[in-house]
Structure 1
Amino acid sequence: MFSVTTSLQNAAKIFVGVSLLVWLMSSIARAAEGTSHTPITPIRHLIVIVGENHSFDNLFGAYQPVGGQTVSNLLSKGIINEDGTPGPHFVEAQQWQASVTDKYSIAPMRTRPFATLPQPNSTFAFGRKPNEPDPRFPADLPSGPFQLSHYAPYQLSFTGDPAHRFFQMWQQFDDGRSDLFPWVATTVGTGSEGKPPPVPFTDQSTRQGAVSMGFYNMTQCDAPVFKFIADHYAMSDNFHQGIMGGTGASFIYLGTGDLAYYSDGNGNPATPPTSLIEDPNPWPNSNNWYKQDGYASGSYVNCADESQPGVAPIATYLRAHHRPSRCDPGHYYLVNNYGPAYNADGTPVDVKQHPYTLPPQTLPNIGEAMSKAGVSWKYYIGGLKRGGAQHSGANDTWCSICNPLQYSKNIMTTALRNQIVDVSEFYRDAHNGNLPEVSFVRPYEPYSGHPADSAVSAYEYFVMSITNNVISRPDLFASTAIVVTLDEGDGYYDSGYIQPLDFFGDGTRIPMLVISPYVKPGRIDHVYSDHGSILKFIEKNWNLAPLSPRSRDNLPNPIAAPDNPYVPTNGPSIGDLMTVFDFADKQPRPPLIIPGGI
């Protein structure tokens, strides 16, 4: 009889074998078609703008669609009313307490519902005192979603950074119930970094409260830029972060369709120091206070070995859903945030002196793939000088983990590094008619929308600036699609479906908007997709092969059941974004982004 671990490894081998065959067949087919990489659609320029840290319901929970479209959100489900108060089906989002005192669980034993939410806390917000409830919010909020802007103004309001690391997000999901968000935030010991819990231990020890249950209300003028884009262009209400967890792993996935792992710097897997390995099992005499998890603690997981802490519960869940783990033996995958092995100017970081640094990666990435195919590209990111070095004193504007290509040895040690430039270069290239075929755009940190040190309104301003700059150039916009999204949901509550793809996710729904003359105004696409779908669009539009035999861009496009467009019947699967567009019916007068009207 095979062991559980052996069965999982065999399933993974079958998945990789099938993926290799698909990849080889795809490569052969493309070779037979010739070397031309002329786009197959009218889209000659793709611009991908990536902000930070908001779930779909956090921004679009109260959105009301136009033109007879439907949307899956808090309002349509009756969880909230138009004014943001609890709706007739509020109980569907009720939050629970639970008990985990021995081994980590992704579906722990629930004990009782919260009578009222723990008072929201802004510990991780700029300018707020740590470990104190935020006095802007009541201490008796009902046990479910609440409108943030009832208590903190939408414009430039730092509301805090909920728990949103890998093992925490699996628990928040709670086998599809999504009912443990405040409990996780108040128990896991966020920032504990391998330290035992305080004595006496209480479920309020981390003092994050229930800020994760907050949402903004578009019916009351919150997020007016994004509402305007959704009304006049297109969006998805079934787009997901590809990885359970935070910014670093999510950006790496955006660039590779895969997970980074600890290595010798030449692509060979290695074993990291014990202090860098995740251990979500609880400390004795605590309820769910992780033994080892934090930005200066564990972030690697050997998920092919079910004896490793936290691995078996996720592996068991995957077997129940007939999904492979995609965990290669001996690989310690990075599931949270560590910095890249290269500085912005290409000089190496000493990993031994800076252990919270991911060794150089050799994963195939979209930058290399496009360059080999002759597809022009740039990665525009805030905080760089011309020539690629980081601005001195730019730490408050620079996000080192927000560029997947900065982790890559084959990018950062070659001339391809010159394709990574400051975001200001985007405006110069657009003005001079030199925009590449594919542009990734990451704002300066204060304009990223990150709820700890930015605001949604700042990200909206940035998006509007980039977008209107392009729309105001009709010859350019006529062949352009602008994708606006975020890296991940920040641990904010979301009521949407999550498809199990493999050990690493998918993760929660996040916003994704498409601005192009080739979309119907107000269209809402329901096809299941995630960050890997952006890679699939690039590959299909420019006739490229998937990045590697195991990358998720090998997954098929979803086939939805007739009665449920959100859940694929052929999972694991993700879309290629082609269904968002209508290439046969171009908008004659696509509008500039003008919040509040035209």
Structure 2
Amino acid sequence: MRSIGHKRAALAAASVAAVAATVFGVANLGTSANAAPKADNSAKTATPIKHVVVIYDENNSFDHYFGTYPHAANTDGTTFTAKAGTPIPNNYISHPDLLTNNPNAFNPQRLDAAHALTCDQSHSYGSEQKAFDGGLMDRFVEETETSSCSPSTLYGTDGIVMDYYDGNTVTALWTLAQNYAMSDNSFSTGFGPSTPGALNLVSGNTSGALSVNSVTGVPTSTTTTTVTSDPDPFYDDCADSNHTKTGNLTKMTGKNIGDLLNSRGVSWGWFEDGFTPTTTAADSPTGYAVCGAMVPITAENANFPLGAYVPHHAPFAYYESTSNPHHLLPASLDEVGHDGQANHNYDVSYFYQALAADKLPAVSFVKAAAAQDGHPGSSNPVDEQISLVKEINAIEASPAWADTAIVIAYDDSDGWYDHVAATITNGSAASGNSAICTNAATLDIGGQVNRCGPGPRQPLLVISPYAKKNFIDHTLTTQSSILKFIEDNWNTGRVGGVSADATSGDLDNMFDFKAPPGQAMRLTLAANGTVASESKVHGNGNGNRKN
């Protein structure tokens, strides 16, 4: 579910502006200029990795993108030929019967680039569980499929939820998997859509949520709940069409990785396309900033232009301590990654500026514009590749590349078919959960309900000079494994409470931290996702850069 457009209701400007000022106050605008500067511990790491960049794309299962990896049909699109000795993951190539005798109502069929823009499938907390059918993985057509939708440019057909792309369409991802490391055993931390996936990335926890009236800012209850859907964040002017809708917003209690990095003195930032407001809070008659930036118009989205910024994709806006409600810009490029009025939340343009100026924060989270994040129904793998190629090329061309680890991961599966179910390690006995969750050996850890997981399997790639080459990792990991890697690398400690960070699997097996300095390569991807050029990196392992 995503917001399309930013209409403003006819509210009294003065009163709404007063509400905005009262609701957000000044606590969220960054550290006081009079505060003593913190020691910068960004370079103090447990591994040679001094920079982590998490590219968090949208709504795809592993089999949907890698079902026939490394074998592409090569009947259309960009030709893909696997390197000799490429390992085969747990997919349709290693289980060919899934293509011809699938337990679901339809067999998987190949999608090509001409059918890149598809209907958004159902991917709610409950429907995904039902599709799993106790681990039989045989009810996706009945429970998560959307076979028709509008506008007519969106492709749908009976059985589409089962279908997959290959390297002729998702070429960049397949190329990166050939040259770096990929997991075939990584899952969402829990079932459900984008917001739970975003929260599990930064805190490993979807419980501790408070519902708040969008217009008045008054909590609707004093009892915390668990986030299982896609409510907009409370600490965001652009949420719920600038707080004009009658629905409720959500704010989270507890800590996240931003808090831990701040305490440790480690630079970090969330960079999302469209974050810079088109009307500032100071210039807005309502007192709320307006996020009116539109995504680039392509043939795929010409019939339904989208706002670039999606509030419920921005996890740090759910927490008062790490939010930038008015979308204030950093005072200078030197502020990026550090305390200041932007409070670690920026437009993606600042990510590219920081890269070019050799000022990349130690930890960066990057979110593409709505039409380029891979989300079915509004984005697609062809447009997603545009942003991926731009992001990867910019990072690999930068001075930071020599000691950087890029993690490409997804916030949810969109309900697309995948044939693998992980053993549930945190079930839930609450009403509305299905047998795969209610029958788990462990239920409702810490007394927090509706956090059943792991959920669906999704792609996860590590791109780094220290990543193992053409390697497939089988370690069971989740979205919160990324959080755990950051915690361990910068010695921040754990989020604590019922966070999944401590119990999540490690990403370490995807790396070779003993790789000889100077032996790493720098790839440049062509627009079609193939390798345009390759050169040796010089100065691998620079641990002296200050960010």
1:455-509 Cα deviation digits (max 9, x unpaired): 1121122111111112123x32111011111111100000123231213211111
Q: Which of these residues, 510, 515, 522, is aligned with residue 463 of structure 2?
A: 515
Q: How does 1:163-182 map to 2 (within 5 A)?
A: 163-182=122-141
Secondary structure of the residue that 2:388 maps to in structure 1? helix
CA–CA distance in structure 2, aligned partners of residues 68 and 369 of structure 1: 39
Q: CA deviation at 1:591?
A: 2.3
Does the C-alpha gap of structure 1 residues 332 and 217 become closer, same or farther in structure 2, counting only changes over 3 Å? Answer: same
CA–CA distance in structure 1, aligned partners of residues 241 and 379 of structure 2: 30
Secondary structure of the residue that 2:501 maps to in structure 1? helix
Conserved 8 A contact 1:483-1:512: yes
Q: CA deviation at 1:530?
A: 0.8
Q: 1:463 corresponds to which residue? A: 388
CA–CA distance in structure 2, aligned partners of residues 145 and 241 of structure 1: 22
Q: CA deviation at 1:346?
A: 10
**Residue 348 of structure 2 corresponds to residue 423 of structure 1:** yes
Q: CA deviation at 1:362?
A: 2.0
Q: Which of these residues, 247, 257, 261, is aligned with residue 370 of structure 1?
A: 261
Conserved 8 A contact 2:120-2:146: no
CA–CA distance in structure 2, aligned partners of residues 344 and 471 of structure 1: 34
**Residue 311 of structure 2 corresponds to residue 400 of structure 1:** yes
Does the C-alpha gap of structure 1 residues 444 and 349 become closer, same or farther in structure 2, counting only changes over 3 Å? Answer: closer
**Residue 92 of structure 2 corresponds to residue 74 of structure 1:** yes
**Residue 464 of structure 2 corresponds to residue 534 of structure 1:** no
Secondary structure of the residue that 1:591 maps to in structure 2? strand
Q: How does 1:137-216 map to 2 (within 5 A)?
A: 143-149=106-112, 153=114, 157-185=116-144, 209-216=158-165
Does the C-alpha gap of structure 1 residues 164 and 440 become closer, same or farther in structure 2, counting only changes over 3 Å? Answer: same
Q: 1:336 corresponds to which residue? A: 229
CA–CA distance in structure 2, aligned partners of residues 339 and 539 of structure 1: 27
Secondary structure of the residue that 2:322 maps to in structure 1? helix
Partner AA of 2:57 in structure 1: G
Q: How does 1:444-455 map to 2 (within 5 A)?
A: 444-455=369-380
Q: 1:217 corresponds to which residue? A: 166
Does the C-alpha gap of structure 1 residues 533 and 262 become closer, same or farther in structure 2, counting only changes over 3 Å? Answer: closer
CA–CA distance in structure 2, aligned partners of residues 542 and 180 of structure 1: 42
Q: 2:523 corresponds to which residue? A: 591
Any stretches of 5+ residues in structure 1 without a counterpart? 1-33, 81-85, 96-113, 115-142, 192-206, 274-328, 556-573
Secondary structure of the residue that 2:461 maps to in structure 1? strand
1:94-152 Cα deviation digits (max 9, x unpaired): 21xxxxxxxxxxxxxxxxxx4xxxxxxxxxxxxxxxxxxxxxxxxxxxx2211122xx6
1:232-261 Cα deviation digits (max 9, x unpaired): 111111111112111111111111100144
CA–CA distance in structure 1, aligned partners of residues 488 and 149 of structure 2: 41
CA–CA distance in structure 1, aligned partners of residues 146 and 236 of structure 2: 35
Secondary structure of the residue that 2:259 maps to in structure 1? helix
Does the C-alpha gap of structure 1 residues 431 and 177 become closer, same or farther in structure 2, counting only changes over 3 Å? Answer: same
Q: CA deviation at 1:589?
A: 2.5
Q: Which of these residues, 231, 255, 276, is aligned with residue 385 of structure 1?
A: 276
Q: 1:564 corresponds to which residue? A: none
CA–CA distance in structure 2, aligned partners of residues 159 and 385 of structure 1: 29
Q: CA deviation at 1:390?
A: 4.8
Conserved 8 A contact 2:236-2:324: no
Does the C-alpha gap of structure 1 residues 190 and 367 become closer, same or farther in structure 2, counting only changes over 3 Å? Answer: farther
Partner AA of 2:464 in structure 1: S
Conserved 8 A contact 1:186-1:208: no
CA–CA distance in structure 2, aligned partners of residues 42 and 186 of structure 1: 44
1:55-107 Cα deviation digits (max 9, x unpaired): 00000001027535341011211136xxxxx4xxx32x321xxxxxxxxxxxx
Q: CA deviation at 1:272?
A: 6.1
Q: Which of these residues, 180, 192, 206, is aligned with residue 259 of structure 1?
A: 206
Q: Which of these residues, 161, 166, 173, is aligned with residue 226 of structure 1?
A: 173
Does the C-alpha gap of structure 1 residues 350 and 477 become closer, same or farther in structure 2, counting only changes over 3 Å? Answer: closer
Does the C-alpha gap of structure 1 residues 516 and 409 become closer, same or farther in structure 2, counting only changes over 3 Å? Answer: same
Conserved 8 A contact 2:188-2:457: yes
Q: 2:65 corresponds to which residue? A: 59
Secondary structure of the residue that 2:525 maps to in structure 1? coil
Q: CA deviation at 1:263?
A: 2.6
Any stretches of 5+ residues in structure 2 without a counterpart? 1-38, 71-81, 151-155, 213-217, 282-288, 295-305, 326-339, 429-450, 534-547
Does the C-alpha gap of structure 1 residues 588 and 384 become closer, same or farther in structure 2, counting only changes over 3 Å? Answer: closer
Q: How does 1:113-128 map to 2 (within 5 A)?
A: 114=105
| Percent of aligned positions that are identical | 28
Conserved 8 A contact 2:293-2:309: no
CA–CA distance in structure 1, aligned partners of residues 67 and 241 of structure 2: 43
**Residue 412 of structure 2 corresponds to residue 488 of structure 1:** yes
CA–CA distance in structure 1, aligned partners of residues 324 and 470 of structure 2: 44
Secondary structure of the residue that 2:472 maps to in structure 1? strand
Partner AA of 1:596 in structure 2: T
TM-score by length of 1: 0.63
CA–CA distance in structure 2, aligned partners of residues 52 and 375 of structure 1: 27
Aligned residues: 410
Q: CA deviation at 1:416?
A: 6.9
Q: 1:312 corresponds to which residue? A: none
Secondary structure of the residue that 2:260 maps to in structure 1? helix
CA–CA distance in structure 1, aligned partners of residues 134 and 507 of structure 2: 27
Conserved 8 A contact 1:242-1:506: yes
1:306-339 Cα deviation digits (max 9, x unpaired): xxxxxxxxxxxxxxxxxxxxxxx96431211111
Conserved 8 A contact 1:341-1:349: no
Conserved 8 A contact 1:262-1:272: no
Does the C-alpha gap of structure 1 residues 158 and 334 become closer, same or farther in structure 2, counting only changes over 3 Å? Answer: same
TM-score by length of 2: 0.69
